[in-house]
Amino acid sequence: MRTTKSYPLDNPEQFKKQLFAWSRQFDEITWLDSNNYQQENSSFDALLAVQAFTALKTDYHQAFDQLQEYQETTKDWIFGYLSYELKNDVERLTSKNYDGLRFPDLYFFQPQKIIQVKGNNAEFHYLRMVDDEMDEDFNEILNRSETHNPQPTIHNPPLKIEARISKEEYLHKVHNMLEHIQRGDIYEANFCQEFYVENCQIQPSAVFSKLNDISGPPFATFLKLEEHYLLCASPERYLKKSGSKILSQPIKGTARRSENKEEDLQISRALANDPKEISENVMIVDLVRNDLSKIAKKGSVHVDELCKVYTFNQVHQLISTISAQFEEGLPAVEALRATFPMGSMTGAPKISAMEIIEELEETKRELYSGAVGYFTPDGDFDFNVVIRSILYNAEDRYLSFSVGGAITAKSDPEKEYEECLLKAKAMREALSS
């Protein structure tokens, strides 16, 4: 179905920049960049998929059934996203909050052209209908003089970023969340708030490049599907399937970085031993273990790593790794259906947490708290968690980014608000030009 051809690279980093610049001509783009992050479970340095041959775009009604049919019928690489609103497909839930972005709830496409960069090699996977363009495309990419994206538009006056809720409202809502916890309705919930800009025009690829330079995360994503854009600097993996192995790596626990090396090390050590942050993470690990048990071989769910500190450009994070053996005979999509939305963005118990989140938050999360990724022809997949991200509807000129954190019985509302501002810092900086 696809023709594959490899090309040696003299300068992989320069080629990545040229490749991303070349991709901007297409209407459908998925760009996945690991930023050379040294992790055992990365399949590539960068992966580009462009130019839809077929596509699936739908709301949440029977979305996972439609995705399963599309994936099994296509039997090819497909790239796309699952929005948080698919919770309404897997549980008897609703979403009635304000929606300024108007993204489809699910969107996948079968690309005509896929280019994977790994080490000193670029591998082209083209549908046969376009495989005669491989050499021409490779040479065109190599000859791009524009290795970097254009500079972002200088906004004069600067973009007016507004908070959907005030600090006072945020603190009040966290207190409300704590009352739910004290009553025993939930143990933990991820509470988020939106920042937005109306009637704005940006250069998405330039803003993404700046955001990616600031954050340098292992699951960076640039997504363009018609007028819908995602500029994502996510450090978190949601779920990966490789053969019979399933892997989830939830993040819970955040601390700032310091330019002073000694202080930075102290902050990292303090995070590793912080009872409140550890309890957040352990609660979500238990939830993920429970979710994976629905689609795993009996007795195969295992916590490979618990509350390990990982350091990124902007923050230190506590990350746990949970693995399982996928039950034979189940469709690949079932692993996503059984575990979505990811526990790190909901809370525990999951359904109660999602109901309370819907009650207290002011806007639909849309693609934020969802996942972006791909399926391979043999049914393997890899999806990130959409956090530290800017969402943009170019037709409506509406821009949005959301941030949040886990609320537990030990949460201090003021500190939770400060954590939100810390997580928003990179997005604000990327939009500041």
Read off the tokens for 222: 């640039």
Q: Could you tell me which of 377, 365, 305 has the C-alpha nearest to residue 340?
A: 365
Between the alpha carbon of residue 194 and those of residues 29, 118, 170, 389, the distances in Å are: 25, 36, 11, 11
H-assigned helices in 82-203: 87-90, 134-142, 167-183
* 297 in catalytic set: no
Q: Give the active site residue among 85, 188, 236, 361.
A: 236
* 245 in catalytic set: no
Q: Give the active site residue among 16, 224, 252, 350.
A: 252
Quickly count: other Cβ atoms within 10 Å of residue 159's Cβ.
16
Q: What is the DSSP letter of 151?
A: P
DSSP 3-state of 84: helix
Element (H, E) at 266: helix 261-272
**At 389, which amino acid appears?**
S
Bond from prior residue into 157 cis (ω within 30 degrees of 0): yes
- Residue carrying the six token digits 């699910």: 106
Phi, psi angles (nearest 5°) of residue 144: -65, 120
What is the four-CA torsion angle of 66, 72, 75, 76, rounded to 10 degrees? 30
Q: How far apart are CA 102 and CA 120, in angstroms?
A: 40
The backbone region for 257, taken as left when phi is positive above 0, alpha when psi lies in -120 to 50, beta otherwise, is beta
Q: Catalytic positions, please?
A: 236, 252
